[in-house]
Amino acid sequence: MREWWLRTLLVLSAPRAVFVALRGDDPDEVAVRAEPVLAIVLLAGVAFVLSTHLTGRLLDEPDGPQGIVIAVWVFLAGFLYGGLAYWVVGGVLFWILRTLGSEGTYLRARHLLAFAAVPVALALAVWPVKLALYGGDLFHRGGSDRGAGADVFDVIWLAACLWAAALLAIGVRAVHGWTWWRAAVATAVPLAVGAGLALL
């Protein structure tokens, strides 16, 4: 299990080796990578929910949720969205991979998606900095969290999402030994579905 926790970070610097390791479908191998996958999915879901416009308006109403209620809401919504993306986008990825000739399993497709989402999960690390700088204004429209500083955080979030998309393409190519073109085609449809979920 320790190897897979290490691979969770290694995917950022040596993604091909990590994704090639996903080819192993031995039940014991699958079991030991289940915990890192769960952690990635949940953290990526929380990071996504924190990036939404809805979160940025939670304190607009005087009688709206406060403090601990917001924290609980963010985590519950994050876990829900992370799980939804894992199962739905993972299912779409599995379907398109099968359509293009893969013989891999639905589980492997979901694990591939999860490891590709590591940059999104790590984007959560900027939130303590944002809270220190802006405090409750992060949950108000038109607060102090606007301007150049906010733009920097938006760029970090966008970079994390683009990095995750690139990792997904690298992962599809590494796991299946496909060309870049075929991997890009396989990646485009799940990414479009993921973007659709984000708009919801």
Tell me the pLDDT tens digit for each residue of 75-129: 898 999 999 999 999 999 999 999 999 988 999 999 999 999 999 999 999 988 8
pLDDT digits (tens, 9 = 90+) for 124-167: 999 888 878 777 666 766 665 566 667 788 899 899 999 999 99
Q: What is the mean pLDDT of residues 171-181?
A: 93
The answer to whether residues 85 and 121 touch, using CB atoms and an 8 Å cutoff, is no
Closest to 16 measured CA to CA, from 194, 180, 134: 180
What's the rounded Cα separation, in Å, for the pair 141 and 153? 16
- Alpha-carbon torsion 136, 65, 45, 53, what sign? negative
Give the range among 33-42, 48-57, 117-126 with minimum mean pLDDT: 48-57
Give the range among 49-53, 59-63, 151-155 with minimum mean pLDDT: 59-63
Looking at residue 100, its amino acid is: L
Task: Give me the DSSP letters along 123-149.
Answer: GGGGHHHHHHHHGGGGGSTTSSS-SHH
pTM (whole model) above 0.75 = yes
User: For residue 8, how many C-alpha atoms fall within 13 Å in the half-sphere facing its CB?
Assistant: 23
What's the rounded Cα separation, in Å, for the pair 25 and 12? 22
The answer to whether residues 113 and 11 touch, using CB atoms and an 8 Å cutoff, is no
Phi, psi angle pair for 103, to nearest 5°: -110, 15
Those residues whose C-beta lies under 8 Å from the C-beta of residue 154, and which sit 6 or more positions away, are none
Looking at residue 94, its amino acid is: F
